[in-house]
Amino acid sequence: MRNFTNNNTARRYKAHVSLVGTTQLHLRNPYIIAWWSAAFPGFGHLLLSKYLRGYALILWELLVNNMAHLNYGIIYSFTGNFKMAKEVLEPRWLLLYLPVYIFGIWDSYRSAVDMNKVYLLAERENANFNSFIIGAVEVNYLDKRRPSMAIFWSFLTPGLGQLYIHRVITATFMVSFMIVFVYFSNVLVAVHFLFMGEISKATEALNPQWFLFIPSQIGFGVYDAYVNTVENNKLFDSEQRTFLRKNYNQYRIKIPTSAEV
């Protein structure tokens, strides 16, 4: 039986299964990718599996956004307090923020368009790729997962949905970021006061600069886990179909018709 592995003899592969996750090419809407980059720099690149660039932009966002007090400015602007928004913003960091923010949107859109073209070529070439790997620390293989479960676990804690579909690196970073956001925003302290009926104390305890990161984190965790679960299921079906066709297509059984009987 043939060994279905990435042997670097093909020009393009649709997917690669490794100990830390499954990376694959599939069609993506460039506008949705750009939107996620606008919501949080780096998220669009993570959707494209460009992890190094994505995590670099996320770390940059956390640093520069906090130094510029951008989230404070957003909250004051949305509440109509434009004078406080002007006072709280740090212009030296804010002017540094804008070029990289725009670059993240543009680069994720451009990359999505290019990767869609690469996917179409890889789909036409349909080269063999590995679907199972086992090592001393982990096992990973293609199988089908339930998208609803990926949504459920991601909604509870961003990163758990990625762990469910074996995207270990993304899951580790997302859970780590969520711990940082929850700790510095004091959101659990605010929830504690809220359950006790002390609304004013809950409001005072909440740190809006860090709290504003959490909605984007949860939304992205849910969306990313759902999309990748669906695409992994499609990849599983495609790999199974290719394997059966190449190895068992010659054993076709001819069913006689009533006339031949």
Q: What's the pLDDT tens digit per position in 207-236?
A: 989 999 999 999 999 999 999 999 999 999
Task: List, as one string, the DSSP characters of 73-106.
Answer: HHHHHHTT-HHHHHHH--HHHHHHHHHHHHHHHH
| Nearest residue to 163 (alpha-carbon basis) of 228, 246, 238 | 228
Beta-bridge mates of residue 140? 133
pTM score: 0.86
Among positive and negative, which fits the CA dihedral 130, 136, 138, 139? positive
| Range scoring the smallest mean pLDDT among 88-97, 208-217, 251-260 | 251-260
Domain boundaries, the chain: 14-142, 144-235
Both structure tokens of 225: 């886990």
- pLDDT tens-digit map of 143-154: 999 999 999 999
Sign of torsion over alpha carbons 110, 114, 115, 120:
positive
How many angstroms separate the CA atoms of 206 and 214, rounded? 12
Q: Give me 254's structure tokens.
A: 């001819």
Angle at 151 between CA 150 and CA 157, to 5 degrees: 90
Q: Parallel, antiparallel, or unpaired for β 21-24 and 132-134?
A: unpaired
Are 154 and 221 in contact by the 8 Å Cβ rule? The answer is yes
Confidence of residue 258 (pLDDT cuts 50, 70, 90): low
Which comes out higher in pLDDT, residue 163 or 80? 163
Quick one: pLDDT at residue 257? 63
Kindly tell me if the per-residue pLDDT of 38 is higher than 90: yes
pLDDT digit string, tens, across residues 95-135: 889 999 999 999 999 999 999 999 999 988 888 888 899 98
Distant-in-sequence, close-in-space partners of 259: CB < 8 Å, separation ≥ 6:
none
Q: Work out the pLDDT band at 56, boundaries 50, 70, 90.
A: very high
